[in-house]
């Protein structure tokens, strides 16, 4: 191709990388994946693999040498390596400068606060005494969070009360101050929603329909789209997402998770600078999936349509908690007896408890119908570890 | 996976194979492709490639050894090799016995006639004298067809009149009787339509919405869905497709091309035992693409929903006629200014005149709107051969 950045390098070969590639290949891009695991989900559909650690600066530089644009599928990357690449003239999207602010939950919230965007009250802390002190201000329960490296509830701990036991158990659950920590005032939210947005190289922003999330054991379980919130709250959420995109000057797909309080006040909970689990519904629910949109954004193509084609429900398929080992799947045939069920299996070699092994999507005339059908399908499928 | 045929072997790594794999990978299948070209469209997304000629019996046997089920993306295969595999206990779908009848246009039409299904009058011929003789019966123009190996108008020649010149030019255009030939009475059709249908291992048949085709230089140019025919004609066409599926006992996706005469009488023109160019619209137009349906059928999974999500138009993107060489593409950005345009590039290394290099799909509220937008997008994109 002439005018397109044709070669894409992706740091990370998990399910998000794999789904990016499925769309990139349709458009004829050449994709190289960097991942430490030679059997990662992306391995079989990447044009080339580089087997290397995520902090291997030489390998990431080598990836840049064979790519017209570099992107990544997770945010816990040594940002200095990416900054060096940009200084050397490589294209890296989302930009390392936006990634640097976002990957630290404290600086992320600071940036949002400076821009007057609504977030739960938050404060950096480094000791038990500080936690107690702020507890008087925020009240209990409060959320203690590791500023760096958390995901799927990992890196979060609830401080239930002002008792010495509750404070120190949360504190030591997050490595007892060895890593930067922050406290957040607990938001008594009515719903958690996700707004996916994408920003182009030219600064244009496109916002997807709002999804409503339900978590189980702090891991996303269900996304329902459209979110069951008022039209005015939907509009406010989409505007808030657009405002967030303008702060971080991100290029590519972002997910803005928000709390909706009972009075429909919105708070930004977390920003992810990448396609997101709560955006998987876009594959069947929209004409342009979040993965295709990301590829379009980082290669300078115009955006595709993001309107919702019909009510859509996404449910995660996690590894069984009772077993660990070579991935085994049962019940696909049963789930597929409903012709509107679509199952996505990520191709992870090993099943582990609570590991994201796949997801399914159901479209229907109504969100209630889609939810019921998705739950029936999810109940059919079992993913577990067998003997290898 | 436990109960699924997990490993799929595909003979042929062109665009149909590539699009099968894009859907197969979502479901976690392992795919091996056999193709003589190491840079064929499927090469970068197959789990494994076997570089071998399509008539290499040892290679096809080796493919079967590493696959739970074998399929193919084109019908011109030495059927004996596949029959041997079936005799040895391998699963090959569509079945070689159905392929054998279909790949010869004469036996294909015979089978349809025996079942009382409507086809244009036809007759085997092997000499200029026979052509003249049948011309008195069928009238002119008539279609002379090679019984084996044709595609995209190749293998067809119009016999314009009873003149010696017209008859012999058609006869020698098709190798002058060296290969089996047949004549067909010309059908003064109003429209050409395609009905895609899929048959499962259990005999269940599912029929897609009817599409209307327009050809240019005997190559498919446009498919419009739904076809602009009466509701009763639509129903008849779908019933006829189902009847065709029952004759061939095919497993997997089939395309039944039909002529619609001015009085809406239907004639089966050709049957293809595979996903078909005129079914590409299903990727965006239906929840279940023809490629996913084929994978489901040959692995014994239940069928996915085939209803039309909205009016959809597909247009082919062919290689420029003025150039040949390393594939170059321009105008994707321009085409993508319409957010409902979806471009599929097959990743063929070389562009040649009239070669199918990609296609685009547009969905819209009306078929007229989709057609106009598709034509605008097609006009933007140029695919040509550059200097390598």
Full DSSP string of B323-348: --EEEEEE-HHHHTTSTTEEEEE---
Residue B289 CA to residue B294 CA, distance in Å, equals: 9
Query: Could you identify the residue written with the tokens 């995209």?
Result: B152
Distance CA B93, CA B103 (A): 14
Q: Which residues of chain B have pLDDT under 70?
A: 1-5, 388
Q: Which of A255, A340, A271 is nearest to A103 (CA)?
A: A271
Region of residue A139 (left: phi > 0; alpha: psi -120 to 50; beta: else): left
Assembly ipTM: 0.93
Give the CA angle between residues A361, A364, A366 to the nearest 5°.
120
Nearest Cα residue to A185 out of A154, A159, A152: A159
B72: helix, coil or strand?
Answer: strand
Nearest CA in chain B to A47: B44
Label residue A149 by pLDDT band (50, 70, 90).
confident
Tokens at residue A377, please? 């399908």
Instruction: Say whether A292 sits in a helix, a strand or coil.
Output: helix
Asked if A147 and A181 touch (Cβ cutoff 8 Å), the reply is: yes
- Reported confidence tier of residue A153, pLDDT bands at 50, 70, 90: confident
- Pair B301, B283: CB distance under 8 Å: no
User: How would you classify residue B264: left for phi > 0, otherwise alpha for psi between -120 and 50, otherwise beta?
Assistant: left
Strand partners, A192: A213, A259
Cα A124 to the center of its chain, rounded Å:
24
Whole-model pTM: value is 0.95
Between A249 and A187, residue with greater pLDDT: A187
In the prediction, which pLDDT does B3 show? Answer: 44
Write down the pLDDT at residue A1.
Answer: 45
pLDDT digits (tens, 9 = 90+) for A169-200: 999 998 887 889 999 999 999 999 999 999 99
Residue A138 pLDDT more than 60? Answer: yes
Q: Do A309 and B309 touch (CB under 8 A)?
A: yes
Contact assessment for residue A293 and residue A253, using Cβ atoms and an 8 Å cutoff = yes
| Token duo for residue B97 | 């016995």
Cα angle A358, B17, B97; round to 5: 110
Q: What is the pLDDT of residue B4?
A: 52
Using a CB-CB cut-off of 8 Å, the residues of chain B touching A1 are: 328-330, 332, 345
Q: What is the pLDDT of residue B387?
A: 75
Residues in chain B within 8 Å Cβ distance of A300: 333
DSSP A198-239: EE-TTS-EEEPPPEEEEEETTEEEEEEES-SS-HHHHHHHHH
Phi, psi of A253 (to 5 degrees): -80, 140
Select the residue of A296, A302, A333 nearest B301 (Cβ to Cβ): A333
What radius of gyration do chain B's Cα atoms show?
A: 21
Whether the Cβ atoms of residue A220 and residue A281 lie closer than 8 Å to each other: no
8 Å CB contact of A27 and B344 = yes
Binary contact (B25, A347; C-beta < 8 A): yes
- Chain A residues in contact with B45 by the CB 8 A cut-off are 21, 25, 44-45
**pLDDT the model gives residue A388:** 59
**What does the pLDDT look like over A221-244, one tens digit per residue?**
999 999 999 999 999 999 999 999
Q: What is the per-residue pLDDT for A5?
A: 58
**Least CA distance to A334: which residue of chain B?**
B302
For residue range A64-105, what is the model confidence (pLDDT) as tens digits? 999 999 999 998 899 999 999 999 999 999 999 999 999 999
pLDDT at A21: 98
Cα(A311)–Cα(B280) distance, rounded to whole angstroms? 24
The chain-wide mean pLDDT, for chain A, equals 94
Question: Measured between CA atoms, how close is B384 to chain A, in angstroms?
Answer: 10
Taking CA A57 as the corner, what is the angle to CA A56 and CA A63, rounded to the nearest 5 degrees? 95
Interface touch B339/A47, C-beta < 8 Å: no
Q: What is the pLDDT of residue A177?
A: 75
Give CA–CA dist A369/A335, Å, rounded. Answer: 15
| CA-closest candidate to residue A299, choices A98, A77, A68, A85 | A68
Q: Distance from A103 to chain B by nearest Cα, in Å?
A: 29
pLDDT digits (tens, 9 = 90+) for A262-295: 999 999 999 999 999 999 999 999 999 999 999 9
How far away is chain A from the Cα of B21, in angstroms, using its nearest Cα?
9
CB B158 within 8 A of CB B170: yes
pLDDT at B388: 59
A340 vs B28: CB contact, 8 Å cut-off? no
Cα gap A295→A277, rounded to integer Å? 17
| H helix or E strand, kind and range, residue B258 | strand B252-261
User: In chain B, which residue ranges form alpha helices assigned H by DSSP?
Assistant: 15-26, 57-65, 79-87, 96-103, 105-114, 128-138, 164-173, 231-248, 282-285, 290-298, 332-335, 367-380
Compute the CA torsion angle B366, B369, B375, B376 (nearest 10 deg). Answer: -150
CB nearest B284 (choices: A22, A287, A345): A287
* Closest to A218 (Cα-Cα) out of A277, A282, A168, A280: A277
């Amino acid at each position: 191709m002439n005018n397109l950045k044709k070669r894409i390098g992706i740091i990370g070969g998990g399910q998000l990388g794999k789904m990016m590639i499925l769309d990139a290949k349709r458009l004829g891009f050449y994709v190289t994946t960097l991942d430490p695991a030679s059997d990662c989900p992306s391995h079989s559909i990447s044009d080339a693999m580089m087997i290397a650690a995520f902090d291997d600066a030489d390998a990431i530089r080598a990836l840049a040498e064979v790519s017209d644009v570099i992107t990544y599928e997770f945010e816990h990357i040594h940002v200095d390596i990416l900054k060096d690449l940009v200084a050397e003239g490589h294209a890296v999207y989302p930009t390392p400068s936006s990634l640097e602010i976002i990957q630290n939950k404290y600086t992320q919230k600071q940036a949002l606060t400076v821009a007057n965007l609504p977030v739960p009250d938050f404060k950096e802390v480094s000791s038990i005494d500080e936690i107690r002190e702020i507890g008087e201000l925020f009240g209990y329960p409060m959320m203690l969070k590791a500023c760096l490296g958390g995901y799927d509830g990992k890196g979060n701990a609830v401080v239930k009360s002002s008792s010495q036991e509750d404070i120190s158990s949360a504190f030591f659950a997050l490595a007892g101050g060895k890593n930067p920590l922050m406290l957040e005032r607990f938001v008594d939210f009515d719903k958690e929603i996700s707004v996916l947005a994408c920003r182009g190289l030219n600064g244009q922003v496109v916002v997807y329909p709002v999804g409503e999330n339900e978590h189980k054991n702090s891991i996303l379980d269900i996304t329902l789209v459209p979110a069951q919130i008022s039209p005015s709250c939907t509009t406010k959420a989409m505007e808030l997402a657009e405002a967030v995109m303008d702060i971080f000057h991100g290029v590519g797909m972002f997910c803005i998770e928000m709390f909706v309080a009972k009075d429909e006040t919105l708070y930004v909970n977390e920003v992810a600078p990448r396609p997101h689990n709560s955006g998987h519904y876009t594959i069947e629910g929209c004409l342009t999936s979040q993965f295709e949109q990301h590829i379009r954004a980082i290669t300078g193509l115009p955006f595709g349509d993001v309107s919702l084609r019909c009510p859509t429900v996404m449910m995660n398929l996690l590894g069984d908690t009772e077993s660990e080992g070579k991935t085994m799947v049962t019940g696909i045939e049963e789930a597929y007896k409903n012709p509107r069920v679509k199952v996505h299996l990520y191709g992870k070699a090993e099943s582990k408890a609570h590991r994201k092994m796949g997801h399914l999507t159901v479209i229907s005339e109504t969100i209630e119908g889609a939810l019921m059908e998705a739950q029936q399908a999810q109940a059919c499928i079992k993913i577990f570890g067998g003997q290898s």
